[in-house]
Structure 1
Amino acid sequence: MNLRRLKYFVKIVDIGSLTQAAQVLFIAQPALSQQLATLEAEVGQQLLVRTQRGVTPTEAGKALYRHAQIILRQCDQAMSDMAAASQGLSGQVSVGMAPGTAATTLALPLLRRVRARHPGVLLYLNENYGTTLSELIMNGRMDLAVLYGDKAIHGLKFLPLVKEELYLVGPDSEPRPGENIRLEDLRDVQLLLPRPYNIVRKLVNEAFVRAGMTPRVVAEVESAITLTAAIADGLGSTILPASMARGFVASGHAWQSRIVEPVIEAPLALCQSDHLPLSEPAQAVREILLELVDDLLVGGGTGLSVADAPVLLTTP
C-alpha cells in the first residue's frame, strides 16, 4: 500500500468528511476521492460509506484504520530512531497518567528529568481514565501509561509498580470512625463510587462479595470535582486509594480512615503494548519513569511517611 494514501484515509476517518479532509490536507477534493478509490481498489474492499453527515468507515474500513494508525506510527518511529542514531535521542513520546493516583506525583518530575537528559524528546502527558489510556495504547496511539490494574489483557502488558491501600473518605459533618475502619462496618455506609468498570470499584465490589455484603451505592460519580463537592455537602462517603484520599482531606471538609480486615490494595502499574516495540525515545522515558517510581514513591521523595508509602511489588 502507498503510505500517502494511508495517511489520507486516516485523516478522512478522523475528520469524517471528504471535503474538510481535503481542506486540511491542502489537496483538491476530486484528487482526494481518486486516492481513496485507488486505495479501495488495492484492498478490494469498500472502506467508506457516504452519509448526510459525511463519511463513516465500513467494518473493513475500521480494520484498516486500526492497522493504518499502527503502520504510520511505526514509520514515524523509524524516522525518529534513524535521526536519533546520529543526533541523540529525539522524537515524540506519549505517556498517560491516571488521575487521582500516585501517578500524578510523577508527572512534573518526569517532565523535568526528560528535558534535562533528552532535550530532543517531545513529551506528551495525557491525564485520563485508565480505560481510555489502555485503549489508546492498544490502538498504537500512546506509548506508555501509569494506571491501576495488573491483570493480563490481550494487547497490553503491565509492569507492577506499587500498591496503594484503599481508604474510606467521609464528610466532616459525620464523625470520623478512627484511623482504621473494618470492612464489615461499611455495610450501611452510603457510598459515592465510580461505575463498575473502574478498577477501584471492581476492587471494592470484590471485597464486599468475599465478605458476603453488598456496597450501598447511592450515586455513581466519575468527576473528582463533583465528588469533592458531594462529600463536602454531606451527601455520602467514598472509597479512594491513599494518594487521592490524602488530596480530598487536604482540600478540607473531609476525613479518611484506612479500611482493614481485610486491607484492600489497588495495584499501580506501567502499561504498554505487548506486541508493538517502543521507540528508542520511549524506552528512555520508560527507564526514567521506573527511576522516579523508586525515588519518589518507594524512596519517600514525596514526603510520604513509611506507613503511608505504597508497597513495592516484586518485578517479574
Structure 2
Amino acid sequence: MNLRRLQYFVKIVDVGSLTQAADVLHVAQPALSQQLATLEGEVRQQLLVRTKSGVVPTEAGKVLYRHAQLILRQCDQALADMNAAAKNISGAVAVGLAPGTAAAGLALPLLRAVRARHPGILLYLNETYGTTLSELVMNGRMDLAVLYGGKTAVHGLAFQPLLREPLYLVGRSSMIAPPAEVPLAMLVDTDLYLARPYNVVRKMVNDAFAAIGKVPKVVAEIESASTLTAVISDGLGATILPESMARQVASSCDAWQSCIIDPVIEAPLALCQSDHLPLSEPAQAIKEILLELVAGLPGNLIAREERSQKAS
C-alpha cells in the first residue's frame, strides 16, 4: 500500500465526500477517484459506499481507516524523531490525567518541567475518565495516561504501578459524621452517589460490599466532579472517593471525610501506555518526567517497582 493513497483515503473518510476531499487535498477529483480505485484493487476490498449525502466506509474500510491512522501517525513521528536527532527534542505528546485522582496534581508540575527542559515539546493534556483514556491509548491516539487500574491485564495496554490511594467516605457536615475510620459494614444503609459500574473505583466498592455479603445503596450514578461536589454540598447523601479527590471535594464545601476500613480499599494509580506501539522520543521524555514527579510523592511505588525489576 502507498502512504499517499492511505492519506487520501483517511481524508475522504474524515470529510465524507470525494469532492470536498479533492478540494482539501488540492487534487483533481478524477485523480482522487483513481487513487481510491487503485487502493481498493490492492486490498481486494470495497472500502467506500457512495450515498446521496456522500461516501461512508464499508466494514473493511472502517478497519483500514483505524490502521491507516496509526500507520500515518507513526510515519509522522518517525520523521519528527529523525529531525530531532540532531537538535533538541520536539514534537507533540498527548497525556491523559484521570480527573479526581492524584494524577490531577501532576498537571502543573509536568507543564513547568516540560517548559524548562523540553520547550520544543507541544504537550496536550486531557482530563477525562479512565475508561476513555485507556481506549485512546489503545487506539494510538494518546501516548500516555495516568489513571486508576492495572490490576487486571488488558490486551493492548501496559500498566506501571505508581500509587495506591485508600478510599474515603465523604459527606456534608449536616449529616452525622462517622469516626475518622469507618467500617464498611456501617455504610450499608447510607445513601451513596457513585460512578457507573464500569468505573474502576465503583468496581472496587461493589467487590468490597460483595465480600461482606452486602450491596451499596446507590441512589444515583454521577461521573461529573462538579455535580458530585454540588450533591455533597447540598447534603443529599454521601460518596466514596479516593483520598485525593475526597480532600478536593471536602475542601470545596463544608464536608467531612472518613477512611473506610474492614476492609481497607485501595485504588491503584498506574501509568498506562500501549504494549505494542513504541513511544516516540518526546513521549519517552515526558514519561521520564512523570515518573520523577510521582517518585516525589509519599507512598509512591516507583522505587519498589524498580527493585522488583532488578531482582527479576
Of 221-230 and 257-266, the range deviating more from structure 2? 221-230
Alignment partner, residue 182 of structure 1: 183
Give, in whole Å, the separation in 1 of the partners of 2:25 and 2:256. Answer: 54
Give, in whole Å, the separation in 2 of the partners of 1:12 and 1:209. Answer: 50
The answer to whether the Cα contact below 8 Å between 2:229 and 2:253 also exists between their aligned partners in 1 is no
CA, structure 1 residues 121+206, in 2 after alignment: closer, same or farther (shift >3 Å)?
same
CA, structure 1 residues 277+265, in 2 after alignment: closer, same or farther (shift >3 Å)?
same
Of 138-147 and 227-236, the range deviating more from structure 2? 227-236
Which residue identity is paired with 1:214? V
Alignment partner, residue 279 of structure 2: 278
**Deviations for 1:12-47, whole angstroms, at most 9, x for unmatched residues?**
323434344344334444443332222112111111
Alignment partner, residue 106 of structure 1: 106
Distance apart, 1:63 and its partner CA:
1.4
Task: List aligned pairs for 1:1-316, cutoff 5 A.
Answer: 1-150=1-150, 151-295=152-296, 297-298=297-298, 310-312=299-301, 314-315=304-305, 316=309
SS in 2 for 1:103: helix
**Deviations for 1:177-213, whole angstroms, at most 9, x for unmatched residues?**
1211110001011111111111010110111111111
Distance apart, 1:261 and its partner CA:
0.8
Give, in whole Å, the separation in 2 of the partners of 1:23 and 1:274. Answer: 38
Give, in whole Å, the separation in 1 of the partners of 2:246 and 2:25. Answer: 47
Question: Sequence identity, in percent?
Answer: 71
SS in 2 for 1:5: helix
Give, in whole Å, the separation in 2 of the partners of 1:28 and 1:222. Answer: 48
The answer to whether the Cα contact below 8 Å between 1:164 and 1:311 also exists between their aligned partners in 2 is no
Give, in whole Å, the separation in 2 of the partners of 1:231 and 1:192. Answer: 9
SS in 1 for 2:85: helix
Distance apart, 1:136 and its partner CA:
1.0
Distance apart, 1:5 and its partner CA:
1.6
Give, in whole Å, the separation in 2 of the partners of 1:232 and 1:244. Answer: 15
How many corresponding residue pairs? 304
Give, in whole Å, the separation in 1 of the partners of 2:154 and 2:60. Answer: 24
**Deviations for 1:132-151, whole angstroms, at most 9, x for unmatched residues?**
11111111111111000012
Which residue identity is paired with 1:250? S
**Deviations for 1:72-94, whole angstroms, at most 9, x for unmatched residues?**
11111111111111112111111
Structure 1 residue runs without a partner (length 5+): 299-309
Cα RMSD between the aligned structures?
1.6
SS in 2 for 1:111: helix
SS in 2 for 1:87: coil
SS in 2 for 1:257: strand
Distance apart, 1:53 and its partner CA:
4.6
Give, in whole Å, the separation in 1 of the partners of 2:198 and 2:30. Answer: 45
**Deviations for 1:277-296, whole angstroms, at most 9, x for unmatched residues?**
1111111111111001012x
Of 281-290 and 13-22, the range deviating more from structure 2? 13-22
Give, in whole Å, the separation in 2 of the partners of 1:148 and 1:77. Answer: 28
Of 158-167 and 173-182, the range deviating more from structure 2? 173-182
**Deviations for 1:43-67, whole angstroms, at most 9, x for unmatched residues?**
1111122345543322211211121
Give, in whole Å, the separation in 2 of the partners of 1:54 and 1:166. Answer: 51
TM-score (norm 1): 0.91
Structure 2 residue runs without a partner (length 5+): none
Which residue identity is paired with 2:262? E
Which residue identity is paired with 1:48? L
Give, in whole Å, the separation in 2 of the partners of 1:147 and 1:58. Answer: 34
Give, in whole Å, the separation in 1 of the partners of 2:244 and 2:54. Answer: 45
